[in-house]
Amino acid sequence: MSARSRKSKPASVPLAGCRKPHLLMEPLSARCDKNCLLSFSSPPLGEIAQRVSRLRKVFFRSLLGVVVLAVSACKPQVKYPLDTLAPTSDLTKSIYDLFVEVTVLDIIVLIVVVGALFLGMLVFSTRTGGPREPSVKHSDMYLEMAWTIIPALILLAITVPTVRVIIQTQPYSWPKNTLPVEVIAHQWWWEFYYPTLGVETADEVHIPTGQTIHFQLFSKDVIHSFFMPQVGGKRDVIPGQENQITLIAQVPGEYYGQCTEFCGDSHANMRFRMFVETPADFQQWVRHQLEPPVKRADGPAAAGAKIFADAPCAICHTIRGVSGFSKQYTYGFRGPDLTHFGSRSTLAGSIMDNTPQNVAMWIRNPDEVKPGANMPTLGLGGAEMNELVAYLESLK
């Protein structure tokens, strides 16, 4: 046989696992049996149409479920006290808008990825006719560029608005009429001091609408976190360090706050209330806070004032005209200022309403109400307890 005839003879390619052994040594062109040969044919058009129809049904059913969930989530069913999706200040509105912007981008990415997944499973699947011949290409430059550039653009689309909001909500200077408020965290209550107004209160902070408020955050003991979701977001309060929050409240109302950094036994009981008021109502509150407490000449409240002065209460708590600390006092434990305790709506770190029954419960056994509380048990009862409660409630 000549060399030319030997070259023209087709090469035999064995096919492992073939169910027809007599074809194993046949030329590749001769092994075109659809039951055991490699098939390079595409799925029939009718089957592709069926797959597209199934994909369309799955897509629209999924879209309907997403719409139903979105509508049910947007309908205000219950008013949650620590709702992060109900902004009432310029700060929380900026954070909310950023959240919505990033969420929409995430949804678009999710739709593209899931759509590509369903297309791959239902339209471009090669199960019918057997597997195709594998590609001999080692790399695809355009594909590698695509899966590098597209994620980079997505990250850039998230980073730019995030940095913009950070710069916008953490300014280095403030308007001249800015109201500074010092927030001092203690285990387990909040102290609020207005240095330009000379007002000090505890567990309840009042601010006006339409004015820049600059919170300066300090801690007297351990790390806390000042969280007021509807008005001012969240910021850690760290010993030896001053953190800040600047905002303009827009909607009057009563809002809830909470420490969100574990700080000891009663971490969950370290709450506060924020009262956003009109400028006129806020000025009225300030004038009331600057007034001295009302003194009772007789009755249970007068007897309670004497009990307060003689008991350990006066060692830790300030009532202007009765007890207090000098500016040089930096030792030992300080309790909340009680000068206008009776005008507050809550007590004990805003975990109870300010009622005579709750005040008596708190004084009788503070550690039972708030585990780990630094307030000692006074051992009062009967008439003495009633008179002390009457005095505290009279501090309007």
Supply the pLDDT for residue 23: 43
User: 58 and 160, same structural domain?
Assistant: yes
pLDDT of amino acid 125 = 65
In a domain, 76, yes or no: no
The arithmetic mean of pLDDT across residues 326-344, rounded, is 72
pLDDT of residue 127: 58
What is the residue range of 153's domain? 49-71+81-129+141-169
So what's the pLDDT on residue 100? 92
> Above 80 in pLDDT, residue 388?
yes
Same domain, 53 and 36: no
Is residue 134 in a domain?
no
pLDDT above 50 for 3 = no
Backbone φ and ψ of 309, nearest 5°: -70, -30
If one compares 83 and 322, the residue with the highest pLDDT of the two is 83
Average the pLDDT over 235-262 and give the result. 94
Q: What is the CATH number of the domain that holds 355?
A: 2.60.40.420
Q: 290, 310, 339 — which closes off a domain?
A: 290
Q: Is 192 helix (H, G, I), strand (E, B) or coil?
A: strand
**What is the number of domains present in the chain?**
4
3-state secondary structure of 39: coil
Identify whether residues 122 and 187 lie together within a single domain: no
The helix or strand, by DSSP H or E, that contains position 215, with its residue range, turns out to be strand 212-219
State pLDDT tens for residues 130-164.
666 766 767 778 888 888 999 999 999 999 999 99
330/222 same-domain check: no
Percent of the chain at pLDDT exceeding 90: 43
Residue 215 lies inside a defined structural domain of this protein: yes
Could you give the C-alpha distances from 90 to 165, 212, 249, in angstroms and in order?
Answer: 11, 10, 7
What does the pLDDT read at residue 333? 61
Cβ burial of 373 (10 Å; 0-12, 13-18, 19+) is buried
Average model confidence (pLDDT) for the chain?
A: 80
> What is the pLDDT, as a whole number, of residue 172?
85
- Residue 51, token pair as written in the block: 């797959």
User: Domain with 100 in it: what CATH number?
Assistant: 1.10.287
Lowest-confidence pick of 40-44, 91-95, 109-113, 365-369 = 40-44
Among 290, 318, 352, residue at a domain's last position: 290
The predicted model gives 328-353 an average pLDDT of 81
**Does any domain span residue 136?**
no
| ∠ Cα 122 126 132 (to 5°) | 160
